[in-house]
Amino acid sequence: MHKISSKLCHILGVKHKPFGGLNMIFAGDFAQLPPIQGENASLYGRKIAIGKSLWHQVTTVVILWENMHQRQQSPDDAELQMALENLRYNACTQKDIAFLESRASVSDDVFQNVSVITSWNVHKDEANRLGSICFANETSQTLTDFYLEDNEFQCAFWDQPPSNTDLKIPGKLSLCVSMPIMIQRNSATELGMTKGQEGTVYAWQSCKGSRGQHVLDTLFVLLQNPPSPVQFDGLPLNVVPIVPLKARVCVNLPGNKHTMITREQVKVLPNFAMTDYAAQGKTHPFNVVDLYKCKSHQSLYTCLSRSASAAGMIILQGASGAL
C-alpha cells in the first residue's frame, strides 16, 4: 500500500494526499501471502505501518462469493470449499480437518510429475533435484549439467542449491528433454516468457566453457498453456528461446556470512516443486501439496486453494500438524 501510494504521489505531484488524491479500487484474494520482506527491517516496518494506516482509509468492501477455482459441485468439492472458506480466517473446524486429512496420499499415478507446492525453498530445491533424477531415469535419458562461466572463486558455488542466493539463480542446471521447468524472470510478457510460466525443455544450444564445462547458450522451452499462442520464425508453436542473463547475486556462506558475485545463467528452474509464493494466482487441475512446516494459515490457504477440485488434490504430509 505504501509503495503504491508513494509512486502515485510522485507521478501526480501531489505529496500531501494518499495515492496522490486518486480514488482507488483494490482487487485480489487478500487471504493469500503478504509481500516478501526484502528491505532493511526497520525501514520495512515503517512502510508497513504507513501501509496499514492507508488500508484503514478504505470505506467500502465488496466480497465476491462465487468460487472461481473450484467450479465442480460434488459433495467433496463442497467440503473443500467450506474448509477453504474457514481457513481464510484461520478457523477450520474438526470436520474441515478430517476432510483434508482424507486427501492424504503419496502413490497415485495421475499425480506423477505434478509440481509439489511447499512452503520452504530448501524443500523445493531438494524435491527438484530428486525429481530431475527420477524423470531422467523414467524417460531413459541422462541429465546434462550446465555450469556457469565463473572464475575459480565462484566455481565453489556451482553445486549450491538455488535458494542459497537471493535471486534463486542456480550455479548448475541439470536438464533433459521434456523435463518440466518454470521460467524465473519476466523477459517478454507479450510472448508468454514471464516469471512463473511453466513449460518443458524442448531443446538447447550449448558450448564449452573455459574449464571444459557445458555452458548453456540458449534454452528452447515449450510453453504450457500460454495466455496466447506464440510463434517464433523457425520454431514450433509455443516454443520460445531463453538466453542467459547476467546479474549480481548475494550468496549465503557458512557462519551466516554473505558475498556478492556476478552470475550469468538461463533463469529457469526444474518444476517438480514450487513455493507457495510462486503458486499464487495459479489454478491446478491436479494439485499436490506438502503442508509440512507451513509458516502460517495464509500459506496453508494458498497451497490448498490452488486446487480445481477435491478429486484433483492430494496432501503429501503435514495436514494434521499444520491445521
Confidence at residue 312, expressed as pLDDT on a 0 to 100 scale: 92
Residue 266: name the closest of 121, 146, 179 by CA: 146
N- to C-terminal Cα distance for the chain? 30
Confidence at residue 68, expressed as pLDDT on a 0 to 100 scale: 73
Helices (H) and strands (E) in the chain, counts: 9, 13
Q: What is the pTM of this model?
A: 0.83
Confidence at residue 321, expressed as pLDDT on a 0 to 100 scale: 66
3-class SS of residue 252: strand
Confidence at residue 299, expressed as pLDDT on a 0 to 100 scale: 93
Confidence at residue 229, expressed as pLDDT on a 0 to 100 scale: 94
Residues 177, 142: contact at Cβ < 8 Å? no
Predicted confidence pLDDT, tens digits, the chain (323 residues) = 888 999 999 999 998 999 999 999 998 887 888 766 554 556 667 888 888 889 888 999 888 877 777 777 889 999 999 999 999 888 999 999 999 999 988 777 889 899 999 999 999 999 999 999 999 999 999 999 998 776 555 566 667 777 777 777 777 899 999 999 999 988 888 888 999 999 999 999 998 887 778 889 999 999 999 999 999 999 999 999 999 888 788 877 777 777 787 777 888 999 999 999 999 989 999 999 999 889 899 999 999 999 999 999 999 987 766 66
Confidence at residue 317, expressed as pLDDT on a 0 to 100 scale: 87
Confidence at residue 70, expressed as pLDDT on a 0 to 100 scale: 72
Hunting for cell 530445491 — which residue is that? 125
Give just the sign of the alpha carbon dihedral 76, 88, 184, 251. negative
CA distance 96 to 185: 37
